[in-house]
Amino acid sequence: MNWHIWSIDRTLILFVSLAFLALGIQVTMFHYRQNFHHKSMWVPVISAPIFFITGMILTWYNADWLHSLFLVLMWLGVLFGLVGFYFHFRGVGVRVGGWALRNFLIGPPIMLPLLFSAMSVLGLIAMYWEVR
């Protein structure tokens, strides 16, 4: 199975892959700054490059097994982002002052895990896209 044109699904897979490269770099910097004090901080640091590499290969080599792998990875990405949101939101709440605005500004970024999930959802849209 080979790609014949730059269809919307192929373009979205490329975009999602590149977005995971950028997200992976940002997440690594934030979690490194916190000295990886919780083991779960390694999940997006390890998974983002895997998502990037798999998506880039799928962009250039359209194989059924790569479609299946990328689909599973994107579902995992949705889950990882939602779990990360829970940890980040809880992390803001345990700071002195609880869920005060200043803690949302200086605490763990609650939107970054949601962006991880959103990029995964965009990857899923690309995978389930049907051209009619």
Is position 102 within any domain?
A: yes
3-state secondary structure 105-118: HHCCCCHHHHHHHH
Is position 1 within any domain?
A: no
Is position 3 within any domain?
A: no
d(CA 34, CA 57): 32
pLDDT of residue 79: 98
Those residues whose C-beta lies under 8 Å from the C-beta of residue 45, and which sit 6 or more positions away, are: 24, 27, 28, 31
Is position 52 within any domain?
A: yes
Is position 2 within any domain?
A: no
Domain residue limits at 38: 8-128
Cα–Cα separations (whole angstroms), residue 13 to 78, 89, 132: 15, 29, 19
Is position 43 within any domain?
A: yes
Alpha-carbon 4 to chain mean position: 28
Torsion of CA 108, 109, 114, 120, to 10 degrees: -90
pLDDT of residue 64: 94
3-state secondary structure 17-31: HHHHHHHHHHHHHHH
The model carries a pTM of: 0.92
Question: Above 70 in pLDDT, residue 4?
Answer: no
Is position 41 within any domain?
A: yes
Q: What is the pLDDT of residues 78-88, one digit of tens each?
A: 999 999 999 99
Look over the chain and give the mean of its residue pLDDT values, rounded to a whole number: 94
Tokens (6 digits) for 63: 């194989």
Is position 54 within any domain?
A: yes
Q: What is the pLDDT of residues 22-68, one digit of tens each?
A: 999 999 999 999 999 999 999 999 999 999 999 999 999 989 999 99
Report how many domains make up the chain: 1
Tokens (6 digits) for 110: 């609650």
